[in-house]
Structure 1
Amino acid sequence: MELMNKLFEAAKANKQRIVLPEGEEQRTIIATEEIKNQGLAYPVLIGNQEKIMSMAKELNVDLSGVEIIDPNSYEKIDEYVKAFYEIRKNKGMTMEKAEKIVRDPLYFGTMMVKLDDADGMVSGAIHTTGDLLRPGLQIIKTTPGVSVVSSFFIMMVPDSPYGENGMLLFADCAVNPNPTYEQLAAIAIATADTAKNLCKIEPRVAMLSFSTMGSADHELVEKVRKATELAKELRPDLMIDGEMQLDAAIVGKVAAQKAPNSQVAGRANVLVFPDLQSGNIGYKLVQRFAGAEAIGPMCQGFAKPINDLSRGCSSEDIVNVVVLTAVQAQAQNK
């Protein structure tokens, strides 16, 4: 957990304001106390103050000093409604609709980030990934030059020789069901940049398939090949290779047989899955069978950091994602 220790220290050194729209949810309340006590961020809970404080008392949680905002009584709600209307008026938005939508905690939290009243947002303990992405894509939108929002997991595998001393990044495991080859190339590039900027490692990206360097011929394999070619063309500074099977990507002996001329094979620390089914299944297999800690899913590609949680997350998971979001915000605020 050396990486997380470094990220915790980075978060403490320059605390960011992170909004938690699921403020009335038990695990979120427990996590908020930990975030406050460790000085990891300035957490902002969205919800009814009386309900949140009552639940905190039942949980024996101290939320003193934590900001709690109820959209229904927030002094800047009219400003938020007008701003949201302006963003969406060309899509048929009316002021009446905006008035209702912005009071939804997820939309409200996203507007806080958009209007710089928060540096980042974390949600997903009780909402789906789609619930988070919808306001994110409508309000925050993508970083200029980035064509697609995607997700990644940081997988920490105990006592493992693979990846970067047991740490690997998996993408995309939560957002894009069946990416085109152009989107797959964009996901590979985004995850490589995340590995470099957030995890401080030199990325070695494997584009996964059921074929290694032409061992099979199929339209699904062709998509991965084209994605690899495009990613290399767009970012020749990155080590990206494929198509390759998982064992060729991470096992040196297999790589020597199947892909002897690859800089990535046998040494990959970033695994890009060809579609959401394989990515989602893959991270859960490693999490359950290898006892890995799966940190995420984190989002990449948004103009400002908003991140997702698994609905099966623990309060500790929420703390970790808040820390990662804070460090993302630090980088974007430079």
Structure 2
Amino acid sequence: MDFLQSIKQKAKACKKTIVLPESLERRTLEAAQIILQEELANIILVGNEAAILEKAEGLNISGANIVDPEHYDRMNDFVDTLVELRKSKGLTREQAEKLLKDPLYFGVMMVKKGIADGMVAGAVNSTANVLRPSLQILKTAPNTKLVSSFFVMVVPDCDFGSNGIFVFSDAGLVPNPNAEELAAIAISSAKSFKALVGEEPVVGMLSFSTKGSANHPDVDKVIEATKIAKKLAPDLKVDGELQLDAAIVPSVGASKAPGSEVAGKANVLIFPDLDAGNIGYKLTQRLAKAEAYGPITQGIAKPVNDLSRGCSAEDIVGVVAITCVQAQLSE
């Protein structure tokens, strides 16, 4: 069974409710039809019902719950909650009412209130717009200092990683993490790999150096991050600094980092910065014809996931299924 089918089965086994706030986007509506047909999740669409149904002409989204913020009977409660959450920032009631007419803020508040279990957006909104209300309303998960992101990469005909499955992090959110942040990204990514793939994470902290082959402050950051990760998560298999080939190719790992329990076996790849992570995932996706699921966020109190604006309806379905599994694990 491939990765996506496995995720879909997990989603079906404990059905969750996902809010899709970009309800006037055709790809979102096509995805909603597929999700409802395959019984992956319950779907909430945010917006004016007549406008949504007009945009969904030819599609069957009758199983979706359409909620219009303009006529929502719990809006006063939503406003009260947002004012309370943002009182330290001086948010007025009038400002809160305006914010909650934004489908993204409204959708996140539905997650906050437990009406939905997660939210997926980003087909027409920037990452910043999707994550801003999430951080303001949901905040970070307990014992998590940093919100980061990852991609699940499924590489065809590949013996490396977990039968060709990897987590690449951070490839979508944190531009230049310091050592403490890089350690936090590594620990969160290991948990995400275990949750979604179901196998033991083996974490490679990537660099242009392997075990002292080069000297540079960028290398020092990865070495320090590895020490911090080992201290914070002593049972985690994590090692660095490792070049990419030393991390995933057994013969190279044995040669460059003999004695390492990670070298040559890594399935969670932690990139030193966003440049490397973003380039790495796109190279793998395009040259190896890999499936790339993400960016999936980690570290928010409840699951909210961002889409690429170039996503297809099928991409949205995949991210919704992943969000369902994250929601199951956050209970």
TM over 0.5: yes
TM-score, scaled relative to structure 1: 0.97
State the alpha-carbon separation in 2 of the partners of residues 65 and 160 from structure 1: 39
How far off its partner does 1:261 sit? 1.3
Residue in structure 1 matched with residue 38 of structure 2 by the alignment: 38
> C-alpha separation between the residues in 1 aligned to 2:51 and 2:33?
16
* CA distance in structure 2 between the partners assigned to 1:283 and 1:99 by the alignment: 39
Question: How far is the alpha carbon of 1:6 from its aligned partner?
Answer: 2.0
Partner of residue 225, structure 1: 223
2:166 maps to what in 1?
A: 168
Q: How does 1:3-82 map to 2 (within 5 A)?
A: 3-57=3-57, 60-82=58-80
CA distance in 2: counterparts of 1:198 and 1:290, whole angstroms = 22
Counterpart code for 1:28: T
Larger mean CA deviation between 73-82 and 311-320 belongs to 73-82
* Residue in structure 1 matched with residue 87 of structure 2 by the alignment: 89
Please state if 1:194 is matched with 2:181.
no
Encode CA deviations 1:286-314: one digit per residue, 9 max, x unaligned. 00111000011101111111111111111
**1:2 CA displacement:** 2.4
Which 10-residue stretch deviates more, 62-71 or 223-232? 62-71
Find the counterpart in structure 1 of residue 96 from structure 2. 98
Following TM superposition, the consecutive aligned residue runs of length 4 or more in structure 1 with deviations greater than 4 angstroms are: none
- Does structure 1 retain, via aligned residues, the 8 Å contact 2:3–2:154? no
1:265 aligned partner:
263
Letter in 1 for 2:312: S
Q: Report if the CA contact (8 A) 1:149-1:302 is conserved.
A: yes
SS state at 2:222 partner: helix
Structure 1 residue 4: Cα displacement: 2.0
Distance in 2, matches of 1:142 and 1:215, equals: 37
CA distance in 1, matches of 2:17, 2:109: 14
What residue identity is the alignment partner of 2:3?
L
Letter in 1 for 2:139: K
Give a deviation string over 1:109-143, Cα, whole Å, max 9, x none. Answer: 00000011100000111111111111111110111
- What letter corresponds to residue 49 of structure 1 in structure 2? E
Q: Is the 8 A contact 1:24 1:48 kept in 2?
A: no
Query: 2:182 corresponds to which residue?
Result: 184
CA distance in 1, matches of 2:123, 2:315: 10
Do 1:190 and 1:300's aligned partners in 2 also have CA atoms closer than 8 Å?
A: yes
Q: Does 1:131 align with 2:147?
A: no
Q: Distance in 2 between matches of 1:65 and 1:171?
A: 35
Shift of 1:5: 1.7
Give the superposition deviation at 1:332.
Answer: 1.4
Deviation for aligned residue 1:157: 0.5
Question: What is the distance in 1 between the residues matched to 2:295 and 2:101?
Answer: 26
Specify the alignment match of 1:253 in structure 2. 251
Read off the aligned partner of 1:181 and give its amino acid letter.
A
8 A Cα contact 1:181 1:224, kept in partner: yes
Name the amino acid aligned to 1:183.
Answer: E
Q: CA deviation at 1:197?
A: 2.0
Percent identical among aligned pairs is 55
Q: Gapped runs of 5+ residues in structure 2?
A: none
For residues 285 and 2 of structure 1, the distance between their equivalents in structure 2, rounded to whole angstroms, comes to 21
Asked if the contact 1:157/1:293 (under 8 Å) is kept, the reply is yes
**Residue type of the alignment partner of 1:289:** L
TM-score, L = length of structure 2: 0.98
1:72-101 Cα deviation digits (max 9, x unpaired): 111111111111011001111011110101
- Mark the runs of 5 or more structure 1 residues left unpaired by the alignment: none
Count of matched residue positions in the alignment of Structure 1 and Structure 2: 331
CA contact (8 A) 2:175 2:275 kept: yes
| C-alpha distance after superposition, 1:144-184 (max 9, x if no partner) | 11000010100001111111111000000111111110000
Give me the whole-angstrom Cα distance separating, in 2, the residues matched to 1:66 and 1:135. 23
Q: CA RMSD for the aligned pairs?
A: 0.9
Q: Which whole-Å deviations, capped at 9, do the CAs of 1:25-59 have from their partners, x for residues lacking one?
A: 111000000000010000111122111111111xx
Instruction: Provide the C-alpha distance between the structure 2 equivalents of 1:125 and 1:318, rounded to a whole number of angstroms.
Output: 8
Amino acid at match of 1:52: I
